[in-house]
Homo-oligomer: A and B are copies of this chain.
Amino acid sequence: MQTSPQIQLINYSRENYTELQTDSTEEIVNSLNQNGGLVHWVNIQTLDRHVVKAAEKIFKFHQLTTEDILNTNHLPKLDVFEDHCFLIMKIFTYSEGKKRFDYEHVGVLLFEDSLLLLQEYPGDIFDTVRLKIKEGSGSIRKGKSDYLFYVLIDTLVDHYLEIMEEMRERAERMENSLLEGEDSVTLNEIIKMKRQMNRMRKFTFPLITEVKKIKTEPPSFFDKSTLTYMEDVFDHLYLLNTNFEYLRERLMDLINLYHYKLSENTNQVMKVLTVVSTIFIPITFVAGLYGMNFQDMPELGWKYGYPAAMGVMAAIAGGMIYYMRRKGWM
């Protein structure tokens, strides 16, 4: 486990910025009570029950919310309460080489002048956001906590879109390999990718409808101009959904393609077997015929018996070859 303090506080306004690493509840409460139009971003990088329970007491959210934060199997959702919002989301770690496709459970609580971000493991995709706030670049410092909330969701959706794009590219590479008749793509690889895609879909799909709640029932402190920015997020979520459907169909096509290529190969193999057998089995019989040891087989004594037998065999083989060429099997 972490030995460094697991709670980080970022207080900012257009003019000010302070940052604080602490494990003391008191310090956090003091920080939150500071005035001067500050936005307080509290980062908790552990889902230790005691820490979350402490946060529950400080921020006064419902114990069911605490349960949802601690239940790392919970699907994404957005609950809008009178004076705060609660969002569950998943951060993914995807890499082609990796065996397991992992996800991390993340909870976000948005209040009028503060935002609480709780996550399973240290480290996340929001470091560029923290840097922008520190440096005062971009427009986050100009906004309130709702704008920060938008920026976090926007970053998350971009994170999803990137992973989707990587998956799509990998699927396309596999498809091209199969189309070009290469042996490098195995069924196992395709099946495993389909599994990863299904799992990612399960943990992002609910977000698409859930985030829309911010539009239909926005919390009172949510700025109208931020809602305009949220529209941009909805567009990207719609793209995400479209891309999922597209990838899903692509993977199914890929599996079918694999199957068809296998059928084609079996068909090829059978053709070669049939061609060879059909030519040689009948003439082997003719050879066997004149290998019989009957005392009275006149052909064996003929002068041109041997060449005649050879001719018969050549004729049979030729007829078979002609037949199979016409069928298109040779």
Report A251-286 residues with CB < 8 Å from chain B CB.
253, 255-274, 276-278, 280-285
CA distance A271 to B329 in the complex (A): 13
CA distance A271 to B262 in the complex (A): 12
CA distance A276 to B260 in the complex (A): 25
Q: Is the interface of A mostly helix, strand, loop or mixed?
A: helix
**Interface mask (A221-232 → B, CB under 8 Å = 1, otherwise 0):** 000000011011
Q: Which residue, A264, A269, A280, A295, has most C-beta atoms of chain B within 10 A?
A: A269
- Which of A35-43, A112-120, A212-220, A302-310 faces chain B? A302-310
A296 within 8 A of B: yes
CA distance A195 to B281 in the complex (A): 44
CB distance from A282 to the nearest CB of B (A): 5
Q: Which of B68, B191, B274, B328 contacts A273 (CB 8 A)?
A: B274
CB distance from A232 to the nearest CB of B (A): 5
19 contacts between A and B (CB under 8 A): A79-B231, A175-B191, A183-B328, A191-B257, A206-B238, A255-B256, A266-B267, A266-B270, A270-B270, A272-B278, A272-B324, A280-B285, A281-B281, A288-B288, A291-B292, A293-B297, A294-B299, A294-B306, A296-B305
Q: Which residues of A are in contact with B by a Cβ distance under 8 Å?
A: 62, 64, 67-68, 73-75, 77, 79, 175, 179, 183, 187-188, 191-192, 194-195, 198, 202, 205-206, 228-229, 231-232, 235, 238-239, 242, 246, 249-250, 253, 255-274, 276-278, 280-285, 287-297, 299-303, 305-306, 309, 324, 327-329
Tell me how many chains of this kind the complex includes: 5
CA distance A38 to B268 in the complex (A): 69
Determine if A75 and B242 form an interchain contact, defined as CB atoms under 8 angstroms apart: yes
CA distance A312 to B163 in the complex (A): 59
CA distance A261 to B285 in the complex (A): 33
Determine if A228 and B306 form an interchain contact, defined as CB atoms under 8 angstroms apart: no
Return the 9 tightest CB-CB contacts between A and B, nearest first: A287-B288, A290-B292, A294-B306, A273-B274, A291-B291, A284-B285, A280-B281, A266-B267, A276-B278
In the bound complex, residues from chain B placing their C-beta under 8 Å from that of A284 are 280-281, 284-285, 288
Q: A62-B228, A75-B238, A285-B287 are in contact. List 7 more A-B contacts (CB 8 A).
A: A64-B229, A77-B235, A263-B263, A280-B284, A281-B284, A293-B293, A296-B305
Q: Which of B232, B259, B278, B294 contacts A305 (CB 8 A)?
A: B294
Determine if A246 and B198 form an interchain contact, defined as CB atoms under 8 angstroms apart: yes
Determine if B272 and A272 form an interchain contact, defined as CB atoms under 8 angstroms apart: no
CB distance from A134 to the nearest CB of B (A): 23
- In chain B, what residue has the closest Cβ to A328? B183
Determine if B194 and A188 form an interchain contact, defined as CB atoms under 8 angstroms apart: no
In the bound complex, residues from chain B placing their C-beta under 8 Å from that of A280 are 281-282, 284-285
